[in-house]
Amino acid sequence: MEKIGLDLKCWKIGVLPLRGFALMAYASTVEPFRAANVLSDSLLYDVINIGLDDYPIASSGAGSVSPQTTIKEKIEVDYLFVVAGGNPVIYENNAIFSWLARMSRFGTRLGGVSAGPAILAKAGLMDGRRMTVHWDHAEALSEIFPHLMIERTLYVIDRDRLTCAGGTAALDLMLGLIRDHHGPLFANLVSDWFLHTEIRPSIGPQRSGLAARVGSTNRVILDAVRTMESHIADPVSLIKLAQKADISPRQLNRLFKDKLGCSTMGYYRVLRLDKARNLLTNSPLPLTEIALASGFANSSHFSSLFSQYFGRPPSGFR
CATH number where 290 lies: 1.10.10.60
At 199 the pLDDT is 81
At 217 the pLDDT is 83
At 254 the pLDDT is 92
| Residue 234 vs residues 229, 247, 272, 273, 297: alpha-carbon distances, Å | 10, 22, 10, 14, 10
167 and 246 in a single domain? The answer is no
205: in domain: no
166: in domain: yes
Could you tell me which residues come within 8 angstroms of residue 251 by beta carbon, excluding any fewer than 6 positions away? 242
More reliable by pLDDT, 206 or 315: 315
Range of the domain at 143: 2-193
226: in domain: yes
Taking residue 267's Cβ as centre, other Cβ atoms within 10 Å add up to 18
171 and 280 in a single domain? The answer is no
CATH number at residue 17: 3.40.50.880
120 and 19 in a single domain? The answer is yes
31 and 175 in a single domain? The answer is yes
Instruction: Average the pLDDT over 52-60 and give the result.
Output: 92
| pLDDT higher than 90, residue 256 | yes
179 and 306 in a single domain? The answer is no
Distance CA 137, CA 130 (A): 16
Residues shown for the chain:
318
11 and 146 in a single domain? The answer is yes
79 and 184 in a single domain? The answer is yes
Query: How far out from the chain centre does Cα 257 lie?
Result: 33
264: in domain: yes
Q: How many domains does the chain have?
A: 2
At 209 the pLDDT is 65
HSE-up (13 A, CA, CB side) for residue 241: 29
pLDDT in tens, 185-220: 999 999 999 888 778 777 666 666 677 678 788 889
* Residue type at position 318: R
203: in domain: no
44 and 77 in a single domain? The answer is yes
At 229 the pLDDT is 83
pLDDT in tens, 122-155: 999 999 888 999 888 888 888 888 888 888 888 9
Q: What are phi and psi of 309, to 5 degrees?
A: -80, -45
Nearest-CA neighbor of 162 among 114, 125, 111?
111
Residues 10/43, Cβ–Cβ less than 8 Å:
yes
Report helix angle 264-282 to 249-260, nearest 10.
Answer: 60
User: Which pLDDT band, with edges at 50, 70 and 90, does 2 fall under?
Assistant: very low
202: in domain: no
18 and 150 in a single domain? The answer is yes
215 and 189 in a single domain? The answer is no
44 and 173 in a single domain? The answer is yes
267: in domain: yes
Q: What percent of the chain is modeled with pLDDT above 90?
A: 53
Query: How far out from the chain centre does Cα 93 lie?
Result: 20
Nearest-CA neighbor of 268 among 302, 229, 303?
229
